[in-house]
A and B are shown apart, each in its own frame.
Chain A
């Protein structure tokens, strides 16, 4: 048994889908409904049935989701012209207040459920943060050395004469050889001394005596 096609119902159903869209006033939907009716009139004139005309008219209208951005762009201008800006803001503020009311009510009445939700989200966020931090740290090392898995930078923990303790990335001359001697795991060591201002090389005795300055020199052994 075929169900009869009812235009009013079809249009009402169509409208129900569009009513939630952002940027569409009731007036705008009315206008679009008129468009559908006008198109349907022409299609019926060409011989189509009511239902086929409706389907074709809706199809020709296109997906209103694509039109949403354009409608939203003119939305506030429309409100301004009708002096409805304050009304709209008031209504949105009320909605926000409603959402808050419901949230607090739910929290109060469903303590267990709320706890699970909040605890779960918190746990998830905490794990994410930790993971990000870990990955950021681990990927922060220099990776260009082929032997990077066996390279270490020796840092220096000290206690000063006045009792103050500290950690430093720099150390003393004897650090390298002493560590190499006393710690069996150390294969080789290198000591680096930046020049902090560059070096000048000159050989006054040479035949073409010139001075060379190098800003980024390192003393290494």
Chain B
């Protein structure tokens, strides 16, 4: 499991990235992140949904309801243009940080075996 501060700091870039590709609803987002991270990142709904609402308030994502086969309509989220700009900013920040760490640890750090 990744340490909490890192998980917390990475929520925004991850969400914005996922919603740039395709519109998803909350449960789907949690599943996708768990799969992509091999279980290292497991978000709780109590933290995710308020975050999504906050991003929606800031205009970075927008929500719409879509009917589902097995019951009530689902609330989907997708990235807005403002969100795309924000995502570019976040991406740049992370890449810059990564570059600093690679500089410190040497370029071969990526060749070390993953956990």
Shortest distance between the CB of B69 and any CB in chain A (Å): 10
Nearest B residue to A30, CB-CB: B72
**Contact A32/B45 with A74-B54, A78-B53 known, Cβ cut-off 8 Å:** yes
CB within 8 Å of A: which B42-84 residues: 44-47, 49-51, 53-54, 56-58, 68, 70-75
| Pairwise interchain contact B26-A74, C-beta atoms closer than 8 A | no
CB within 8 Å of B: which A1-41 residues: 27-28, 30-35, 37-39, 41
| Pairwise interchain contact B25-A32, C-beta atoms closer than 8 A | no
Which of B28, B45, B50 contacts A74 (CB under 8 A)? B50
Which of A31, A41, A70, A71 contacts B26 (CB under 8 A)? A31
Dominant secondary structure at the B interface: helix
Residues 83-120 of chain A: 1 if any B CB is under 8 Å from the residue's CB, otherwise 0?
Answer: 00000000000000000000000000000000000000
Dominant secondary structure at the A interface: helix
Nearest B residue to A39, CB-CB: B27
Nearest A residue to B55, CB-CB: A74
28 A-B contacts, Cβ less than 8 Å apart?
A: A27-B75, A30-B73, A32-B45, A32-B49, A33-B72, A34-B26, A34-B27, A34-B71, A34-B73, A37-B71, A39-B27, A62-B44, A62-B46, A63-B46, A70-B47, A70-B50, A71-B50, A71-B53, A73-B50, A73-B54, A74-B50, A74-B57, A77-B53, A77-B54, A77-B57, A78-B56, A81-B56, A81-B57
Q: Which residues of A contact B (CB under 8 A)?
A: 27-28, 30-35, 37-39, 41, 60-64, 66-67, 70-71, 73-74, 77-78, 80-81
